[in-house]
Structure 1
Amino acid sequence: MQASIISILLALGLFAVSSNSAAVPEAVPVDSSVVSSVATEESSPAVAIIRRADRIRAPAEPFRYALTLVEMKGEQEVSRQSLDVAMRFYKPTAEQAGDARALVRFVDPPTERGKSLLSIFDKLWYYEPKLRRPIPISRQQRLVGQVSNGDVVATDFDLSYIATVAATEDCDGRPCYRLELQRRWPHVTYPKISYWVDVETSRPFKAEFLSTGNKVLKRAWYKDYKLALGEYRPHEIYIEDSLKKEQYTRMLYSDVRLEEVPEAYFQKEYLLRLR
């Protein structure tokens, strides 16, 4: 798979939308065991903190935004891509089924135009004009190299993890909660996460994504908070691979807006019409 195709998978989350919360390519039915499990944690301080932070990272309604991906090595820019991303995400409740979809269109450089990517829960398809039909991208391909960054930004902490408040620590002069997260299900990419959230503002500050042996695999910083849709949200996510510290990714967000994209757009057959 080309590097540009791999890096585009980073676009599948703005601030906190999950592609891991279901395992079928249609609206996920209400899972009473999940709803019940989450309900028992309603009074947990950690759940309240994470939910406030999630709403800062992403609005609860369908939305659209422009994304610029900048791959860096040291101080040198290696590559840059511009993307148009439309997202729709609803968590499953006792009253309604869940839904998690994203449509990504390549905008720049000109050589990439006409390419697109569709995510429906954990299913993913890629299309470019020279192909006869969209092709599926396997979970193995999604976990190669920079592709794993997609789960760094797309993971839904509230639904995918069980959280506890471990401590209150300093974050560049401001008090932050440090939360320890353990994944609920084996298919969630990262087994553990350490997550820092500002005590006063509920803004995410930093996250460390760990292996089962507590080895840090990725670090993410939430930066450049600006007003968008009535909330100050991070407009840059800086992602560092702990094994390749000289290489990092800057994800720059702009033009964030509420927009209900038609249902037909979130079908793989529609990708053929985006030539």
Structure 2
Amino acid sequence: MSRKFIKKVKLIEKAKSIKRTAINSIFLIKPGLILWLSLLYLTLSPFFLVFLGHHCWGLPLEKQLSGEIILQRLDANLTSDNKIIQATMTVHGRRTSRTFRMKSWIQGTEKAFTEYLDPPRERGTKMLKIEDKLWLYSPDTDRIIMISGHMLRQSVMGSDLSYEDLMEDPVLHNLYTAEIIEDTIYENQPCWVLKLTAKKQDVAYHEKKLWVDKEKYIALYEEWYAKGGKLLKTISRQRVEKINNRWVPMEGIFKDVLKEGSGTEFKIEEITFNASIPEYIFSKANLRR
């Protein structure tokens, strides 16, 4: 055989080898390519985007929630256009306890009117809150007093609650940022522990810690701190009931840790959400009515 013929045969064999290698490479790459294209499709499909909204790469929903979202859900659970509440407040002092019955009409976060029904000595005492102003009416003196300045730090009826506490915006995410600092169990309920830090300096409590029920989005326990980090007050809540698709704590104890006694106990007897409230209720004239 001539050298030219042998060279031609070698070239043909080499070409066949290259072809076989190319074909094999295609079959080797093709499964990976198909898998990559499939993942790309799923990622961009509406179904997968919805799926990510509920389970982020296999993580349970509670692991995705930020402190801010939890705080907003907690606020949404308790805030409403208006509500009417009838409740008792028992002040447990060092030696004796006193119980007050009251009825409150609340409109949004800006207006609230409270009338004391019992005991007879306090019957007819009324409070009116409109935005950042608070008035108190005493039937004994027939006088209306605006509570302001240092008076806001005074106790309400000798309780562990101050007038300043009444004036605080109940929508917490307006005042605080929130972060999750712990997962724990409180009173047999799985809870997040949220650390709240004030957005502004002119607040009564620079920091709060909330033990938030993971199912009901209720703060079962709270600690309120001064700017320097000193614990000032605590709140514990019990007997959570579902009312009009909302979880409501029907009992709680408010404790000023700097005050003697075992705290102030609150019990809700009746609560109505989104009831019709006449506008005259939130007027100064109604204080003397």
The TM-score bracket by the shorter chain reads: 0.7 to 0.9
Aligned length: 220
Preserved CA contact (<8 Å) 1:152 1:209: no
Q: Scaled by the length of structure 2, what TM-score is found?
A: 0.69
Bigger relative contact order, structure 1 or 2 (CA pairs below 8 A, ≥6 apart): 1
**How far off is 1:117 after superposition?**
0.7
Question: For the structure 1 residues 62 and 152, does the alpha-carbon distance in structure 2 shift closer, same or farther, using more than 3 Å as the test?
Answer: closer
1:86 aligns with 2:131: no
Aligned to 1:108: 118
- The separation in 1 between residues aligned to 2:220 and 2:167, in whole angstroms, is 13
- The separation in 1 between residues aligned to 2:249 and 2:272, in whole angstroms, is 14
1:47 aligns with 2:57: no
- Aligned-pair Cα RMSD in Å: 2.4
Aligned to 1:182: 197
1:129 aligns with 2:139: yes
CA deviations 1:237-268 (Å, max 9, x no partner) are 21122223633000111210132322222121
Preserved CA contact (<8 Å) 2:216 2:247: no
Q: Which has the higher helix share?
A: 2
Question: For the structure 1 residues 180 and 236, does the alpha-carbon distance in structure 2 shift closer, same or farther, using more than 3 Å as the test?
Answer: same
Question: For the structure 1 residues 254 and 54, does the alpha-carbon distance in structure 2 shift closer, same or farther, using more than 3 Å as the test?
Answer: farther
Q: Structure 2: where are the runs of 5+ without partners?
A: 1-63
Q: Select 1:211's aligned residue among 212, 226, 249.
A: 226
CA deviations 1:77-114 (Å, max 9, x no partner) are 51010001000115xxxxxxxxx110001111122222
**How far off is 1:230 after superposition?**
2.5
**How far off is 1:136 after superposition?**
0.3
Aligned to 1:238: 253
Q: Which has the larger radius of gyration?
A: 2
Preserved CA contact (<8 Å) 2:212 2:218: yes
Aligned to 2:91: 71
- The separation in 2 between residues aligned to 1:152 and 1:271, in whole angstroms, is 17
**Letter matched to residue 146 of structure 2:** P
**How far off is 1:170 after superposition?**
2.2
Aligned to 1:257: 272
Question: For the structure 1 residues 205 and 226, does the alpha-carbon distance in structure 2 shift closer, same or farther, using more than 3 Å as the test?
Answer: same
- The separation in 2 between residues aligned to 1:241 and 1:80, in whole angstroms, is 18
Q: Select 2:162's aligned residue among 148, 153, 162.
A: 148
Preserved CA contact (<8 Å) 1:195 1:206: yes
**Letter matched to residue 263 of structure 1:** E
SS of residue in 1 equivalent to 2:121? helix
Preserved CA contact (<8 Å) 1:222 1:237: yes
Aligned to 2:172: 157
CA deviations 1:128-186 (Å, max 9, x no partner) are 23445521011421212434276289543111111111121221333211111111223
Q: Scaled by the length of structure 1, what TM-score is found?
A: 0.72
**Letter matched to residue 65 of structure 1:** I
